Amino acid sequence: QQQVKQSPQSLIVQKGGIPIINCAYENTAFDYFPWYQQFPGKGPALLIAIRPDVSEKKEGRFTISFNKSAKQFSLHIMDSQPGDSATYFCAASVDSSYKLIFGSGTRLLVRP
C-alpha cells in the first residue's frame, strides 16, 4: 500500500512553462512534506518543504501548494528552465520521526 501517491509519472514542458506535480496522502499524522530533486547520477536533494499550518510556500521559482482538507500537495515550477530537468519526489513524514515516505517520482523534461 503506497502511502504517498504521486502523479504524473513523467512530464514534458517547454521552457518557460509551469510544470505541476501532484501528491496525495492518507495518513493524517504526517506533518512535514518535503520535495526532493534528483539529477541523473546524483542522490535526491532537498528542494523545498512545507508544514500543514500554511497553504503555500515559495522559494525562488518553486512553490508548494498544500490542501490539508483534501490531503493533497503539489509542486509548481515557475518559468521552468532546461536545467530543471530532473526527477522530483514528494515525501511525507511525522516530523518527530526520522522516516521519509516517498512518492514514486516524476521525471520532468524541460525543452529549450
Partner 1 sequence: EAGVTQFPSHSVIEKGQTVTLRCDPISGHDNLYWYRRVMGKEIKFLLHFVKESKQDESGMPNNRFLAERTGGTYSTLKVQPAELEDSGVYFCASSQFSGTGVGYTFGSGTRLTVV
Amino acid letter, 9:
Q
Least Å distance between CB 30 and partner 1? Answer: 10
Site string for partner 1, 16-55 (x = CB under 8 A): ----------------x-x-x----xxxxxx--x------
Residues 24 and 68 sit within 8 Å (Cβ to Cβ): no
Q: Can residue 83 be called a binding residue for partner 1 (CB under 8 A)?
A: no
Q: Which is nearer to partner 1, 71 or 107 (CB)?
A: 107
Q: Can residue 1 be called a binding residue for partner 1 (CB under 8 A)?
A: no
Least Å distance between CB 111 and partner 1? Answer: 22
Q: Can residue 110 be called a binding residue for partner 1 (CB under 8 A)?
A: no
Provide the grid cell at 34: 518535503
Q: Which is nearer to partner 1, 41 or 112 (CB)?
A: 41
What does 53-80 look like in DSSP terms, one character per residue? Answer: T-SEEEETTEEEEEETTTTEEEEEETT-
3-state secondary structure of 82: helix
The count of residues interacting with partner 1 (CB under 8 A) is: 27
Report strand pairing: 101-102 vs 106-111: unpaired
Q: Can residue 93 be called a binding residue for partner 1 (CB under 8 A)?
A: yes
Asked whether the CA dihedral 42, 48, 98, 4 is positive or negative, the reply is: negative
Q: Can residue 2 be called a binding residue for partner 1 (CB under 8 A)?
A: yes
